Chain A
Amino acid sequence: MFAQAPLKSGRGRWETVEVDAILLARGLSKSFRGIQAVDGVNLTVRRGTIHALIGPNGAGKTTCFNLLTKFLNPTKGVITFNGHDITRRSPADVARLGLVRSFQISAVFPQLTVLENVRVALQRKRRDNFAFWRSDRVLKKLDGRAGQLLEEVGLEGQSSHRAADLSYGRKRALELATTLALEPELLLLDEPMAGMAVEEIERTADLIKRSARNRTVLMVEHNLSVVAALSDEITVLARGHVLAEGSYATVSRDERVIASYIGSGHG
């Protein structure tokens, strides 16, 4: 079921076997001043799936996430994206390759309007981003697409509001729209439902499901019912190790998983 470790062929290229893995991590480790936050994690994200990364607090989910998106550099291990070794690439580089993340604490551009937030993401592919002598009227071409994305997350009525004035849940929705604007091949969501009201959770889950139709999603999420409903594949982390992997049904019956969740006070 899982890919074997990528083999380094004679030509020095990482090759994957058996499954169509979009993202692979092998032996991923990160220590902070002697504390092993992530220790030898192997992760295989198959193309076209929604993959969830769960685990009790302090399991290393966020560190793992930051390693995969290159916001942290691993102490050991290899990460490949579409067969390319990205272990030493910069975060801006991997974003350009199509691996785009969201943040746990809502990451919007507070002083920009809602429309401008999405437009900045759409703007990235333009070639005139250093053109300080050009009028910003050229950006109006992007307004249509930005409006569509805002409609998808239900923010169309607030496009001229400052992002700072939105409610927490609405900021998360805006962040998602901004992320989707880049048409990422692989979407990494760091607790997309955190702090959302119930009806917003449903709407966001629906949106994630829709946007996963033509891309792959890897998410860290605490809300287990969301994870159960959305994900095809779950990796459970505990103390920096992979505890279990598989579908929700498999994972939720795993005794070590149950023990680690009860042990840390989660239901």
Chain B
Amino acid sequence: MSATAESNAATKPPVKATAAASRLWGFGVVALLIILGPVVVYPVLLMKVMCFALFAAGFNLLLGFGGLLSFGHAAYFGIGSYVSAYAAKAWGWPPEAAVTAGTAAGALLGVIFGVVAIRRQGIYFAMITLALAQLIYFVCLQVPFTGGEDGLQSVPRGKLLGLVDLSNDLTLYGVVSVVFFLTLLLVSRIVHSPFGHVLRAIRDNEARAISLGYKTVWYRLAVFVLSTVVCALAGAMKAIVFQLASLTDVHWTTSGEVVLMTLVGGMGTLFGPLVGAAVVVAAEFYLASIGSWVQVIEGGIFVACVLGFRAGIVGTLADFGRRSIAARQGASARAAVN
């Protein structure tokens, strides 16, 4: 790993080399936190953080890199959660199959809703996605197999591949961590793929991308579906971890919460959504005693973020780092340009 970083530093321009290096550092820190986390914090709470971090990371693919604000991502998280819970409970599927089923269901829903929603942008896109998500909410409320107000409770965690018993929290923690880390790598790869480059160009200036010959609608649809897949996976894992799928998963407040997580952490950054999810989940957990005042505090954090550091926690830190590097290089670069 360090060898590639060195060769990058030699051939690439400095900005890119630092970006690649800081990405590597980021993954290292995440891995370290995953390993050391359970020593300090209750594993179930950490698994909740990871599920919501994936949810936010999937959402951020669409918002931060696709430039599209969806206000209905709870639909995909919730469908993933319900289908995986139902498969595990009613059909007795093993957890890996149940999670796969939940993710596939989310993907399917993503394709259908994506085709409808992707024709509009901005506020109209947000409203259409919200409307579609509300549709799913009412379906989940009415149909018999979701358990209505009660949801699907005491979902069995089962045995992974028929071998590993997941009823132990630490064992499950290991499995969730691996899925989380691999999905994070996938998200990073999507962002840093040929597709990701075109996507960012479209986000920056769609008319220009069209004038270069890109059929932008297909790219927007593709990122929408990828985003829903990651979110559905997050929901499906959440159902296994908490042994519960409920209406909260598909409720519009969950759609709002993921927006909050992403913005607080820093949209358009790889690790921002993870930090945002950790902050929000931790706030809800540690401040649970003060009841609904948590939402007031969350609102306060949100306002502070939007007013004070719009790039979010990670975005602000990255800007700070970039500026100090630029300051070091600035003088020589400017001399070369002029």
Q: Which residue of B lies closest to A113 (CB)?
A: B15
**Contacts A108-B208, A130-B195; is A182 near B213 (CB within 8 Å)?**
yes
In the complex the two chains form, is B204's CB within 8 Å of A111's CB?
yes
In the complex the two chains form, is A111's CB within 8 Å of B13's CB?
no
Across-interface contacts of B16 in A (CB, < 8 A): 113, 160
Contact with B along A52-70 (1 / 0, CB 8 A): 0000000000000000010
In the complex the two chains form, is A157's CB within 8 Å of B189's CB?
no
In the complex the two chains form, is B208's CB within 8 Å of A109's CB?
yes
**In the assembled complex, how far is the CB of residue A197 from the closest CB belonging to chain B, in whole angstroms?**
14
In the complex the two chains form, is A120's CB within 8 Å of B190's CB?
no
Please report the C-alpha to C-alpha distance between residue A157 and residue B334 in the assembled complex, in whole angstroms. Answer: 9
**In the assembled complex, how far is the CB of residue A180 from the closest CB belonging to chain B, in whole angstroms?**
12
Interface centre among B207, B219, B226 (most CB of A within 10 A): B207
- Within 8 Å of chain A (Cβ to Cβ): is B210? yes
In the complex the two chains form, is A160's CB within 8 Å of B13's CB?
yes
In the complex the two chains form, is B212's CB within 8 Å of A178's CB?
yes
In the complex the two chains form, is B211's CB within 8 Å of A135's CB?
no
Specify the main secondary structure of chain A where it touches its partner: loop
**Contacts A135-B192, A160-B13, A160-B15; is A91 near B201 (CB within 8 Å)?**
no
In the complex the two chains form, is A131's CB within 8 Å of B194's CB?
yes
Apart from A128-B194, A159-B13, A160-B15, 11 more pairs, CB < 8 Å: A90-B215, A92-B213, A110-B204, A111-B203, A111-B204, A112-B197, A116-B197, A132-B195, A132-B222, A157-B333, A160-B13
- Seen from chain A, the residues whose Cβ lies within 8 Å of a Cβ on chain B are 69, 71, 90-92, 95-96, 100-103, 107-113, 115-117, 119-121, 123-124, 126, 128-136, 138-139, 157-160, 178, 182
Can you list 22 A-B pairs with a CB-CB distance of less than 8 A? A95-B211, A102-B211, A107-B208, A109-B200, A109-B201, A110-B204, A112-B204, A116-B197, A120-B201, A120-B209, A120-B212, A121-B212, A123-B197, A133-B193, A134-B193, A134-B194, A135-B192, A136-B193, A139-B194, A139-B197, A157-B333, A159-B13
- Seen from chain B, the residues whose Cβ lies within 8 Å of a Cβ on chain A are 13-16, 186, 189-190, 192-198, 200-201, 203-205, 207-216, 218-219, 222, 226, 333, 336-337
